[in-house]
């Protein structure tokens, strides 16, 4: 199985180790993974700022880079949602391109969705001991129906104790550029999220989208919490070490 890894602009620049954790997971599942070097961003920041023109250009760029793979895997629900849901919507009026985008959409998966439903990974390469709580990022949850998948994978790790927080499906307040344009509001929303995380007394919070995790980590640290670990689900499933 030839897999194209779209690592996402955030993981590429901020947390390469999540990209490597994803590679280890895909290899453990027996996949052959390729990383197209020219990849940049899926176009979501532009799309959500009203710049559909650039979003379309980036969609075409993505198509040319990834169309040849059997599957495309992305360690982010929001970028995977962009490709699966919004790319086809952008090309609604261009039938030939629409077909190609619908086709690539069907082969594009958020990481945990892919591991759980497509390759059915039974044994996680990583080990993790301790209590953990999980934040459901909005796009993965509502656009791709990613809810059970990460939990099913975590349940296959003997050392993990999942402590659910209240309102795990409520937005953390990140929202891309929203977090800077409406900082106060965004901070209040992340503050609510952090309170729910703290109330679980879990030592770690995991999620599937780095944007949300940076937002949560940023608020936890500003609040003086330097202990709660903030991890991408890939880092837990794959183990953190190389």
User: Contact residues for other proteins (CB under 8 A)?
Assistant: 7, 9, 11-17, 19-20, 35, 37-41, 43, 45-52, 54, 57-58, 61, 89, 138-139, 142-143, 170-171, 173-176, 178-192, 214-215, 217-219, 221-222, 226, 230
Alpha helices in 30-163 (DSSP H): 44-48, 52-66, 77-81, 87-90, 95-106, 111-113, 138-144, 148-155
Tokens of 170: 């409520």
Q: How far is the CB of 190 from other proteins (least distance, A)?
A: 7
Supply the minimum distance, in Å, between the C-beta of residue 170 and other proteins: 6
- Alpha-carbon distance values, 143 to 25, 109, 112, 124 (Å): 23, 12, 14, 26
Query: Is the distance from CB of 32 to CB of 2 less than 8 angstroms?
Result: yes
Q: In terms of CB distance, is 37 or 96 closer to other proteins?
A: 37
Q: Looking at beta carbons only, is 61 or 163 nearer to other proteins?
A: 61
Decide if 144 contacts 113 (C-beta within 8 A): yes
Least separation in angstroms between residue 142's CB and other proteins is 4
Between residues 156 and 178, which has the closer beta carbon with respect to other proteins?
A: 178
Residue 96 C-beta: closest distance to other proteins, Å: 22
Q: CB of 179: closest distance to other proteins in angstroms?
A: 6
Nearer residue to other proteins within complex by CB, 156 or 240: 240
Task: Give the CA count within 13 Å in the CB-facing half-sphere of 164.
Answer: 11
Q: Give the residue with the Cβ less far from other proteins, 117 or 188.
A: 188
CA distances for 36 relative to 28, 104, 186, angstroms: 20, 16, 34
32-34/2-5 β-pairing: parallel
Of all helices (H) and strands (E), which one includes residue 144?
Answer: helix 138-144
Question: Going by C-beta distance under 8 Å and a sequence separation of 6 or more, which residues neighbour residue 123?
Answer: 28, 156
Residue closer to other proteins by CB (options 47, 128) is 47
Q: How far is the CB of 45 from other proteins (least distance, A)?
A: 6
Residue 81 is encoded by which pair of tokens? Answer: 């949602």
């Amino acid at each position: 199985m030839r897999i194209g890894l779209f690592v996402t602009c955030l993981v590429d620049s901020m947390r390469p180790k999540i990209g490597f954790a994803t590679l280890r997971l895909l290899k453990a599942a027996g996949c052959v993974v390729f990383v197209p070097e020219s990849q940049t961003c899926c176009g979501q920041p532009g799309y959500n700022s009203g710049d559909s023109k650039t979003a379309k250009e980036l969609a075409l760029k993505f198509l040319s880079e990834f169309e040849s793979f059997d599957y495309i895997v992305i360690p982010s629900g929001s970028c995977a949602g962009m490709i699966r849901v919004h790319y086809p919507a952008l090309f609604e009026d261009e039938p030939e391109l629409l077909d190609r985008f619908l086709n690539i959409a069907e082969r594009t998966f958020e990481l945990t969705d892919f591991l759980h439903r497509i390759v059915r990974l039974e044994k996680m390469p990583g080990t993790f001991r301790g209590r953990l709580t999980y934040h459901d990022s909005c796009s993965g949850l509502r656009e791709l129906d990613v809810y059970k998948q990460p939990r099913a994978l975590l349940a296959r790790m003997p050392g993990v104790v999942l402590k659910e927080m209240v309102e795990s499906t409520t937005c953390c307040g990140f929202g891309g550029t929203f977090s800077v344009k409406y900082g106060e509001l965004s901070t209040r929303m992340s503050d609510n999220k952090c309170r729910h995380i703290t109330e679980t007394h879990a030592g770690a919070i995991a999620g599937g989208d780095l944007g949300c995790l940076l937002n949560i980590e940023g608020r936890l640290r500003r609040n003086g919490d330097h202990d709660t670990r903030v991890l991408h689900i890939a880092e837990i499933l794959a183990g953190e070490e190389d």
